[in-house]
Homo-oligomer: A and B are copies of this chain.
Amino acid sequence: MTTAARQIRDLSREEALDRLGSISLGRIVFTRNALPEIRPVNHLLDGHTVIIRSHLGAAIVSAAAERGVVVAYEADNLDPVTHLGWSVIVTGTAYLIREPAAIAHYQQRLRPWIARDMDYVIAIGADLVTGIELTAIR
């Protein structure tokens, strides 16, 4: 990490969602047995909804199956050396997609990061969207 002058800027909701939609890899954050959990996943943005596929067994999915569960989703594009770039965090209710045609639609467009036998399609509503961008001061 360099010590060059840098500035932080808060992204607007639209800017943050644009950046989130520009990449396909992020991390879902949830609570299991009262402990914080995080897993890398692939995503796509469908309107204001983050769609992921997950094969975490009962972890996110069984909680989401009941009546929705609040999760956080983070994606970033940060330079490994300078650490300049952006990070976006979405917080919202996750729920299982159950309609077969919708499942088939998303399964065609989105591959799971880790392919295992069974996976689920999960939608995360972008209730709260925050983002920051770090840029070098020229």
Contacts and interface: CB of A to CB of B under 8 A. Distances in A.
A46 interface: no
Interface string A79-93: 010010001010100
A3 interface: yes
A136 interface: no
Contact of A40 (B6, B70, B76): B76
A23 B81 CA distance: 9
Contacts of A29: 29, 36-38
A34 B34 CA distance: 9
B134 A114 contact: yes
A38 to B, nearest CB: 5
Interface pairs A-B: 9 shortest CB-CB: A29-B36, A36-B72, A38-B74, A29-B38, A40-B87, A29-B29, A38-B72, A31-B36, A1-B111
